[in-house]
């Protein structure tokens, strides 16, 4: 009998890190299920299935999951990767509506997805929520994003003891050269004098400290099995992990 194909579900796989993860897992022979608003285009293979869904429209998430994964009997690995940065603004100047929108996409949509996935008998071994160093380190201007990633870390901690058969973690992927960085590194869009933390990003761009999405996805895929060495529910920064283990 042929061995069953491994499968992965990736949210936000139309661009950036999610697209890189899609390419990486297809190259590893996985069946890939993706979800985004624009769809994952430019890859021609029957192993890729995707559905279009706006995660800010919470009532549309369950129907999208039903249409994408309703017939799937097994999903080995999940990346809750879709995310938005929100406007870089001082917290006092950030309207509550902006924070709510970022929270809807970066946190509450993931609660809906987790509930749907975990209630089904899909045999999910690992769920990796893509977090950020900003979850634990505050920088002026990153208010809504930091709040959302801190809440995402806690969401993982809360689910972990309720689903002991699935390993959950929140993972900071390190810097990745994506559309998010296009915005942060554009002097016309974010003023470095006002928000000095972007200086480090601008210096990292084009260097090994900020890999392409494909290279970052390759690095992440290599460490994914080793995340299980940490307690379920942990927040892990891939850079710390690589430094500590010397690889
Ligand atoms: N880039 C970095 O340096 C960095 C560092 C730390 C953490 N991260 C995290 O990495 C993850 C991926 O970000 P990225 O850098 O790859 O940025 P990106 O290129 O902007 O990708 C974001 C992805 O999220 C999807 N998305 C955004 N809003 C959505 C919505 N309303 N509904 C459905 N999908 C939505 C986008 O798809 P559509 O636009 O097609 O909907 C896209 O595929 C995010 O969680 C981010 O916080 C990135």
- Is 226 a residue whose pLDDT tops 60? yes
CA of 80 to the centre of ligand 1 (A): 10
Q: What is the pLDDT of residues 74-127, one digit of tens each?
A: 999 999 999 999 999 999 999 999 999 999 999 999 999 999 999 998 999 999
CA nearest ligand 1 atom 46, residue: 83
| Ligand 1 atom closest to the CA of 177, numbered from 1 | 1
Ligand 1: list residues with CB < 6 Å.
12-18, 36-38, 53-56, 81-84, 105, 130, 132, 172-173, 175-176, 178-181
Write the CA distances from 38 to 14, 33, 51, 220, integer angstroms.
Answer: 6, 14, 9, 24
- Is 9 a residue whose pLDDT tops 90? yes
Residue 121 pLDDT: 87
- pTM to 2 decimal places: 0.97
CA of 4 to the centre of ligand 1 (A): 30
**Residue 164, class by beta-carbon neighbours within 10 Å (0-12 exposed, 13-18 middle, 19+ buried)?**
exposed
Sheet holding 7-11, edge to edge: 48-52, 31-36, 7-11, 77-80, 126-130, 167-172, 234-237
CA of 2 to the centre of ligand 1 (A): 35
Residue 203 pLDDT: 94
- Which ranges constitute the DSSP H helices of the chain? 16-27, 61-69, 96-103, 109-119, 143-159, 179-184, 198-204, 213-223, 238-245
CA of 31 to the centre of ligand 1 (A): 21
How long, in residues, is the chain? 247
Q: Which of 105-114, 152-161, 234-243 has the lowest mean pLDDT?
A: 234-243
Residue whose pair of structure tokens reads 């993931």 in the numeric block: 110
**Ligand 1, pocket-test mutation among 83, 136, 145, 210, most atoms within 8 A of CB:** 83
First to last CA, the chain: 37
CA nearest ligand 1 atom 23, residue: 12
Q: Average pLDDT of 204-228?
A: 96
Q: Average pLDDT of 22-48?
A: 97
- Is 247 a residue whose pLDDT tops 60? no
CATH superfamily of 7-245: NAD(P)-binding Rossmann-like Domain (3.40.50.720)
Distance CA(192)–CA(98), nearest Å, equals: 22
Residue 101 pLDDT: 98
Residue 245 pLDDT: 73
């Amino acid at each position: 009998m042929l061995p069953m194909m491994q499968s992965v579900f990736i949210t936000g796989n139309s661009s950036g890190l999610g697209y890189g993860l899609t390419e990486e897992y297809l190259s590893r022979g996985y069946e890939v299920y993706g979800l985004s608003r624009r769809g994952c285009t430019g890859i021609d293979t029957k192993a890729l299935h995707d559905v279009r869904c706006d995660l800010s429209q919470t009532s549309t998430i369950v129907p999208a999951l039903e249409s994408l994964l309703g017939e799937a009997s097994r999903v080995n690995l999940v990346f809750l990767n879709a995310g938005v940065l929100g406007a870089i603004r001082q917290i006092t100047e950030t309207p509550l509506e902006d924070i709510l929108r970022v929270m809807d996409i970066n946190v509450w949509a993931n609660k809906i997805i987790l509930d749907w996935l975990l209630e089904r008998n899909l045999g999910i071994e690992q769920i990796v929520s893509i977090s950020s160093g900003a979850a634990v380190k505050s920088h002026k201007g990153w208010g809504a994003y930091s709040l959302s990633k801190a809440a995402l870390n806690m969401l993982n901690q809360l689910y972990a003891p309720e689903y002991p058969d699935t390993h959950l973690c929140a993972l900071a992927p390190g810097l990745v050269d994506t559309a998010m960085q296009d915005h942060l590194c554009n002097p016309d869009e974010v003023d470095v004098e006002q928000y000095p933390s972007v200086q480090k990003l601008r210096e990292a761009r084009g260097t090994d400290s900020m890999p392409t999405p494909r290279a970052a996805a390759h690095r992440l895929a290599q460490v994914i099995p080793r995340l299980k060495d940490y307690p379920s529910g942990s927040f892990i920064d891939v850079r710390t992990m690589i430094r500590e283990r010397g690889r």
